Chain A
Amino acid sequence: QKEVEQDPGPLSVPEGAIVSLNCTYSNSAFQYFMWYRQYSRKGPELLMYTYSSGNKEDGRFTAQVDKSSKYISLFIRDSQPSDSATYLCAMRDNYGQNFVFGPGTRLSVLP
């Protein structure tokens, strides 16, 4: 079993839809949970991160962490064609310098 699992997609949605992206993980020591966005032929860039369980909102994006289920989600409201990218979840424990990434979900938002 991989340490972090993520549905690879591709996921295609119409413009304006609500998108839900998810990751599951097996290591209960993970405390920091990140979402990175990667456009084609570019390096990833951080969207947002959360510490431990709970929700965090930033504009159209909401990150949720459920540590009891070892499940994290990223919601995108009012999705735009410019949101078309691969979304990578990433995690690490409190003091680790080692980041563990999911395989990524490719999202296409159709105009």
Chain B
Amino acid sequence: EAQVTQNPRYLITVTGKKLTVTCSQNMNHEYMSWYRQDPGLGLRQIYYSMNVEVTDKGDVPEGYKVSRKEKRNFPLILESPSPNQTSLYFCASSLYTEPGLASNEQFFGPGTRLTVL
């Protein structure tokens, strides 16, 4: 089944304790992206990757890191989580419709609900 998977689905942690949320897709998509979703603010893009070893900042990258060492995986790293990073996180992937241009159809994972105490 074509899908985007995220782990863990739920995580409660404490301020300052490094964590990684994994994202994997089995559709051979070039483009991958991370979003956070907060009430009243909607989905905001954190980072995106156009291909292996190519990443760029979205609208809210502060406090986050990413890496893209393999095409299928795009982990999100919080080196020193803070309470304002409590949110629902989504990973997404898509094909290119032409070289360097991601499709408008992004496939989203099921979400990771993170609470930072």
User: Is this pair of chains taken from one and the same complex?
Assistant: yes
Interface size class of A (residues with CB under 8 A): 20 to 34
Closest to A32 in B: B104
Q: What's the interface size class on B, roughly?
A: 20 to 34
Q: Are A97 and B102 in contact (CB under 8 A)?
A: yes
User: Are B33 and A99 neighbours in the complex by a CB distance under 8 Å?
Assistant: yes
**In contact, B105 and A46 (Cβ under 8 angstroms):** yes
Residue pair B44, A101 in contact (C-beta under 8 Å): yes
Bound-complex Cα distance A88 to B43 (A): 9
A95 and B40 contact, CB distance less than 8 A: no
* Selected contact of A97 from candidates B31, B59, B90, B109, CB within 8 Å: B31
Tally of A-B Cβ pairs under 8 angstroms: 59
In the assembled complex, how far is the CB of residue A89 from the closest CB belonging to chain B, in whole angstroms?
9
Q: Which of A12-20, A37-45, A64-72 contacts B (4 or more CB under 8 A)?
A: A37-45
Residues of B in contact with A (beta carbons under 8 Å apart): 4, 31, 33, 35, 40-45, 48, 50, 56, 58-59, 90, 92, 100-102, 104-111
Q: Which 6 A-B pairs have CB atoms at the shortest separation, nearest pair first?
A: A43-B108, A103-B42, A101-B43, A49-B104, A46-B105, A101-B42
Known pairs A49-B104, A97-B48, A100-B59; list 19 more (Cβ under 8 Å).
Answer: A6-B42, A42-B111, A43-B90, A43-B92, A43-B110, A44-B43, A45-B107, A46-B104, A46-B106, A97-B31, A97-B50, A99-B33, A99-B45, A101-B35, A101-B43, A101-B45, A103-B40, A103-B42, A104-B42
Q: List 19 A-B contacts (CB under 8 A).
A: A42-B110, A43-B4, A43-B90, A43-B108, A43-B110, A46-B104, A46-B106, A88-B42, A88-B43, A97-B50, A97-B102, A98-B48, A98-B58, A100-B45, A100-B59, A101-B45, A102-B42, A103-B40, A103-B41
